């Protein structure tokens, strides 16, 4: 044994909540310098993919939402888009706008969640409280729209389940104005705080080339200067008709990753405003399905703005084939691959979640950093353990 | 921001996906609700009395709240609106079995949440300056 090896000790970090959930980091340290850090991702939502093989198509919607509770819409949308590809249908325009609306509300929620957790990891419980408190108005909006706080199951093949409630636009506008004002406080207290900057700037730098090579996705990729966003690269829902910027930062350090999220919140608010202004009138469920609903029920459903499922949804048959869909979730790209053999359940379903692709960064970014930098880097990755393990 | 639950209880928006009400009379026993349920919470039970009377197997839905994930698919697929959302979500039980409602019990409506004191009902107001504000509402 060399003298170098004798100096290294193994340090087990976590699992603890709220910082890491069930995830544990196994660090090898020399003094307080990290020699090697291996994430032990733990297990929560195992077998979502396997379980999907015995569930019917509609029943998989709540299932795929589970791995990623802060960002359920992205999974819901990506899954339904793949099913729609197999069914060969395209949802009506209004439904597309509503999908976009919920996706963006969810993105803000997801980013605030990530920023809050990051705050508490580097010791700012104020940032944590603020971010978590400010998710609340957005959750209220989502709840008004869908009837649930987190697991919306809002997007269904051929459309969405609910129409905009009366007065939604006005209430949303108030929330957006609140959040805009609030941003100033965030900068004063947190992002421009010298302590926060010292802990984040230049820490955990991910170069542009490495980001691409490692297959990193989402805000973590954009913070390294790569302007890749599925909403632009392969537009879906109402995104082709909306104006928004793909936020990038050049530094690639922890601060840049945090900043990308903050700036994306602003972009999302811009998108929400446009959606509410431009949303077209019309049905929210594809006509193929709408016409299967008995006429009386259809009238009632239009009056209430709540979709009734046609009875075929109980045993939705999807033509044989394969489909892949991609969606930009809060933490990055969500990919679904469904293989259908024409039966009631998918023959095989595969989902690729952003955290699964980003988890690799733990090992990559922490080599040679100080132990105190681990939480700063961890938090900046917005890594969501259950999402990696599905 | 903080709600002093259970002294204060939030009034929920219309369409909130809470516990489910079942209307015995309008149900056409089509089983769609049980077929669509992702969590196997909704199940069809043989209704003994009705089966004997009609001389064939009659089945009606019952719900198991230990499994229900409140996705609301059963409500949305019910062609006769026999199933409806309520805004009740905060009910506690002493035993596991109490949470399983066979059809007859299911049709009796959702349990009333128990509070030691009658709670103050508040409504969420989305506010430009405060984000969320709670405003008292009258008895509902
Ligand atoms: S709400 Fe969902 S989980 Fe609950 S009984 Fe209905 S379909 Fe099943
Ligand atoms: S409750 Fe509704 S969906 Fe269920 S069996 Fe009765 S009519 Fe059919």
What does the pLDDT read at residue A61?
95
**Residue A76 β-bridge partners:** none
Nearest Cα residue in chain A from B34: A314
What does the pLDDT read at residue A44?
75
What does the pLDDT read at residue A333?
94
| ipTM of the complex as predicted | 0.91
Pairing of strands A159-160, A155-156: antiparallel
Q: Which residues of B touch A137 (CB under 8 A)?
A: 126, 131-132
User: pLDDT digit string (tens) for B79-88?
Assistant: 999 999 999 9
User: pLDDT digit string (tens) for A164-202?
Assistant: 999 999 999 999 999 999 999 999 888 999 999 999 999
Tell me whether residues B129 and A314 touch, CB distance under 8 A.
Answer: no
Whether A162 and chain B come into contact, CB under 8 Å, resolves to yes
Nearest Cα residue in chain A from B89: A148
Give chain B's largest Cα–Cα span: 65
What does the pLDDT read at residue A68?
86
Whether A308 and chain B come into contact, CB under 8 Å, resolves to yes
Among B71, B77, B85, B86, the mutation site with the greatest number of ligand 1 atoms within 8 A of its Cβ is B71
Of A305, A268, A340, A382, give the one whose Cα is nearest residue B15.
Answer: A305
Alpha helices of chain B — where are they, by DSSP H? 32-36, 48-54, 73-77, 103-106
Q: Which residues of B touch A148 (CB under 8 A)?
A: 16-17, 70, 72
- Rounded Cα–Cα distance for residues B140 and B120 (Å): 11
Pick from A6-20, A293-307, A375-389: least confident: A6-20
Neighbours of A243 (CB within 10 A): 9
Q: Which residues fall within 8 angstroms of residue A202, CB to CB, at 6 or more apart? A: A251, A253
User: pLDDT digit string (tens) for A84-94?
Assistant: 999 999 999 99
Whether A178 and chain B come into contact, CB under 8 Å, resolves to yes
Tally of CA atoms within 13 A in the half-sphere of A308 that contains its CB: 26
pTM (2 decimals)?
0.94
Whether the pLDDT of residue A319 is over 80: the answer is yes
Tell me whether residues A314 and B127 touch, CB distance under 8 A.
Answer: no
Q: At what angle do helices A168-186 and A254-278 cross, to 10 degrees?
A: 160
- Going from the Cα of B68 to the center of ligand 1, the distance in angstroms, rounded, reads 5
What does the pLDDT read at residue A91?
95
Q: Are A331 and A71 in contact (CB under 8 A)?
A: yes
- Take atom 2 of ligand 1 and give the residue whose Cα is closest: B71
- Going from the Cα of A120 to the center of ligand 2, the distance in angstroms, rounded, reads 48
Among B32, B33, B37, B67, the mutation site with the greatest number of ligand 1 atoms within 8 A of its Cβ is B37
B27 lines ligand 2 (CB under 6 A): yes
Neighbours of A145 (CB within 10 A): 24
Whether A63 and chain B come into contact, CB under 8 Å, resolves to yes
What does the pLDDT read at residue A322?
95
Q: Which residues of B touch A269 (CB under 8 A)?
A: none
Q: At what angle do helices A373-380 and A93-121 cross, to 10 degrees?
A: 180
Summary mean pLDDT of chain A: 91
- Rounded Cα–Cα distance for residues A74 and B136 (Å): 35
B18 lines ligand 1 (CB under 6 A): no
User: pLDDT digit string (tens) for A208-224?
Assistant: 999 999 999 999 999 99
User: pLDDT digit string (tens) for A1-41?
Assistant: 455 557 889 999 888 765 566 788 899 999 999 999 998 88
- Take atom 3 of ligand 2 and give the residue whose Cα is closest: B78
B35 lines ligand 1 (CB under 6 A): no
Question: How many A×B Cβ pairs under 8 Å?
Answer: 100
DSSP annotation of A191 reads: I
Of A120, A99, A147, give the one whose Cα is nearest residue A285.
Answer: A99
Share of chain A above pLDDT 90, in %: 77
What does the pLDDT read at residue B140?
45
Which ligand 1 atom minimizes the distance to the CA of B71? Answer: 2
Both tokens of A33, joined, read 């310098």
**Residue B84 β-bridge partners:** B21
Tell me whether residues A178 and B127 touch, CB distance under 8 A.
Answer: yes
B32 lines ligand 2 (CB under 6 A): yes
B69 lines ligand 1 (CB under 6 A): yes
Both tokens of A390, joined, read 């599905």
B15 Cα distance to chain centroid:
12
Tell me whether residues A306 and B35 touch, CB distance under 8 A.
Answer: no
Whether A326 and chain B come into contact, CB under 8 Å, resolves to no
Which ligand 2 atom minimizes the distance to the CA of B28? Answer: 7
The list of chain B residues with pLDDT below 50 reads 140
Tell me how close the Cα of B98 comes to any Cα of chain A, in angstroms.
24
Interface of A with B in 104-123 (CB under 8 A): none
Q: Are A216 and A354 in contact (CB under 8 A)?
A: no
B58 lines ligand 2 (CB under 6 A): no
What does the pLDDT read at residue A20?
60
What does the pLDDT read at residue A19?
56
DSSP annotation of A188 reads: I
What does the pLDDT read at residue A33?
94
Q: Which residues of A touch B129 (CB under 8 A)?
A: 178, 181
């Amino acid at each position: 044994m060399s003298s170098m090896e004798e100096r290294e000790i193994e340090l087990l970090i976590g699992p603890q909540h709220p910082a890491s959930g069930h995830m544990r980091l196994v660090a090898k340290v020399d003094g307080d310098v990290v020699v090697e850090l291996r994430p032990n991702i733990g297990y929560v939502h195992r077998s979502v993919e396997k379980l999907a093989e015995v569930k019917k198509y509609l029943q998989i919607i709540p299932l795929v939402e589970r791995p990623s509770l802060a960002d359920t819409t992205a999974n819901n949308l990506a899954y339904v888009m793949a099913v729609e590809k197999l069914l060969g249908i395209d949802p009506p325009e209004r439904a597309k706008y509503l999908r976009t609306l919920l996706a963006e509300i969810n993105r803000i929620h997801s980013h605030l969640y990530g920023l809050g957790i990051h705050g508490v990891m580097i010791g700012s419980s104020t940032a944590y409280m603020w971010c978590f408190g400010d998710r609340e108005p957005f959750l209220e909006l989502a709840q008004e729209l869908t009837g649930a706080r987190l697991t919306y199951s809002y997007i269904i093949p051929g459309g969405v389940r609910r129409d905009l409630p009366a007065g939604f636009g006005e209430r949303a506008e108030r929330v957006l104005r609140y959040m805009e004002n609030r941003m100033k406080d965030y900068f004063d207290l947190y992002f421009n705080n010298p302590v926060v900057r010292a802990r984040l700037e230049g820490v955990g730098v991910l170069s542009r080339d490495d980001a691409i090579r490692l297959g990193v996705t989402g805000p973590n990729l954009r913070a390294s200067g790569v302007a890749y966003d599925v909403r632009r690269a392969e537009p879906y829902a109402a995104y082709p008709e909306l104006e928004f910027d793909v936020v990038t930062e050049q530094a690639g350090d922890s601060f840049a990753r945090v900043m990308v999220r903050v700036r994306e919140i602003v972009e999302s608010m811009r998108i929400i405003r446009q959606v509410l202004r431009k949303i077209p009138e019309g049905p929210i469920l594809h006509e193929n399905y709408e016409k299967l609903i008995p006429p009386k029920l259809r009238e009632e459903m239009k009056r209430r703005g709540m979709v009734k499922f046609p009875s075929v949804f109980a045993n939705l048959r999807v033509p044989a084939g394969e489909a892949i869909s991609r969606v930009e979730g809060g933490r990055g790209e969500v990919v679904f691959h469904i293989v259908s053999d024409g039966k009631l359940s998918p023959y095989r379903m595969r989902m690729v979640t952003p955290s699964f692709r980003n988890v690799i960064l733990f090992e990559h970014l922490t080599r040679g950093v100080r132990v105190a930098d681990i939480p700063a880097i961890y938090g900046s990755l917005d890594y969501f353990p259950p999402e990696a393990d599905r | 921001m903080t709600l002093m639950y259970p002294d204060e209880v939030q009034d929920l928006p219309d369409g909130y996906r809470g516990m489910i009400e079942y209307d015995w009379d309008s149900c056409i026993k089509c089983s769609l609700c049980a077929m669509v349920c992702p969590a196997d919470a909704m199940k069809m039970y043989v209704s003994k009395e009705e089966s004997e009377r009609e001389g064939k197997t009659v089945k009606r839905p019952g719900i198991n709240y230990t499994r229900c994930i409140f996705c609301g698919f059963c409500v949305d697929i019910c062609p006769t609106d026999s199933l409806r959302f309520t805004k009740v979500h905060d009910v506690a039980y002493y035993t596991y079995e109490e949470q399983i409602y066979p059809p007859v019990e299911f049709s009796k409506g959702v349990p009333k949440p128990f509070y030691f004191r009658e709670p103050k009902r508040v409504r969420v107001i989305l506010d430009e300056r405060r984000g969320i504000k709670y405003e008292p509402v009258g008895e509902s």
